[in-house]
Copies of this chain bind each other. A is one copy, B any other.
Amino acid sequence: MTNDTGLIRSHPRFEKAAEALRAGHDRFVEELIALTEIPAPPFKEEKRAAAYEEMFRALGLEEVERDGIGNVTGLRRGRGNGPIVVASSHLDTVFPEGTDVKVRREGTKLFAPGVGDDTRGLATLLAFIRALDAAGIETEQDILFVGDVGEEGKGDLRGIRYLFTENPYRERIASFFTFDGIETQDLVTAGVGSYRYKVAFKGPGGHSLGAFGTVNPAYALGAFLVGMSKIEVPGDPRSSYCASTFQGGTSVNAIPEEVWTEIDLRSESAEVLDRVDGEVKALIEEAVKGENARGDTSNGEITCELTRIGNRPAGTTPHNTTIVEASVAAIKAYGFEPEFSASSTDANIPMSLGVPAVKFGHGGAGGRAHTLEEWVDVEPELSLRGHCAGLLALVATAGFVEA
């Protein structure tokens, strides 16, 4: 058994696996398109999960099932029958029900919401399984392939959180890959923590003319947004904030009784995250006070109801772990220069629990994730270099059985 990527890569069986990836590239593209065109809106991954489960079965994985929260899991047994390496990608997209997910192809480019994030990861896992089987590769540890639910947004990592807290495999997981994001050089070893809130400003409402002058929660929201746009955060540790979704009011001729926004605060640094969190809360208080001072409160005051809707733990994976060392070596082996980065992914959960974990790219090129213009490029050379690097990292982490 070896974890040495150099030895593995030059082994005839791994070479055969690389050839299988190349031979199966068209099939990979077909499966990517097929999966992309099965909508998987937040909290509605069932249809895609059912299809993915069938694909796992068809590939001969063992103990294929959907766990208690909806993750699709399937085992490829290793020799050891003990510790497990997880190779996962997430089933869900950010796009709501009814979004047109038909793939448009232009040359080697595929355009569709979710085609990259993370459907390309799902199709990549299928390509890995096929290549491992075609090459007869045996690993020391079992590999648990997972298509997980709830990575995006309000999903709040619930699929992988469940995997590590409820799923019977949880005790055996020794390391964790999430294949997510395009670029092979981008290796995430730090989990950006995030706080998410629904910020609901409320007031007495009233007729737009008849009650003119009455406090309007929309103006408190406005002041909050302006304040938010001025919050300063460092680039390193990487940090961000976003006012994302909005709703409120009932009629154009009525002062709204409630307007709300959902916001997303992130940082690699728990300290920065808490500082931004404090600023946001101060801005809310100031916005409420300001509108109550500006308008007439005789029918009621502006208040704000702050509801936490997301809490993703921060965490890091030390660079001297097998998974990081194997990943770095595999990325270099295929001509990329590894860049360590921090992000908020399924890997946050194992990282926060001390289980070595990385987010590994699923290869190729792409862009505009989380927009209707999302695209990936499936041009074979770059794609296959990415796939080979990923498979090498996975096999090296699981331990390659040479005999």
Contact = CB atoms under 8 A, between A and B. Distances in A.
A42 B251 contact: yes
Question: Size band of the A side of the interface?
Answer: 35 or more
A220 to B, nearest CB: 9
A67 to B, nearest CB: 24
A393 B13 CA distance: 101
Contacts of A218: 225, 243-244, 246, 261
B240 A244 contact: no
Nearest to A240: B212
A37 interface: no
A94 B250 contact: yes
A246 B245 contact: no
Contacts of A225: 218-219, 221-223, 225
A326 interface: no
Interface stretch (A80-88, A124-132, A201-209, A375-383): A201-209
A221 B226 CA distance: 9
A55 interface: no
A29 interface: no
Interface in A329-344: 343-344
A113 to B, nearest CB: 10
A264 B207 CA distance: 11
B266 A208 contact: yes
A225 to B, nearest CB: 3
A242 B216 contact: yes
A24 B152 CA distance: 63
B216 A222 contact: no
A250 B245 contact: yes
Given A192-B209, A216-B243, A370 B251 contact: yes
A247 B368 CA distance: 22
A28 interface: no
Contact of A210 (B96, B223, B291, B369): B369
Interface of A: 42, 94-96, 152-154, 192, 196, 204-212, 216, 218-219, 221-226, 228-229, 238-257, 259, 261-264, 266, 291, 294, 299, 309-310, 343-344, 368-372
Q: Which 6 A-B pairs have the closest CB atoms?
A: A222-B225, A245-B249, A212-B240, A208-B242, A219-B229, A246-B248
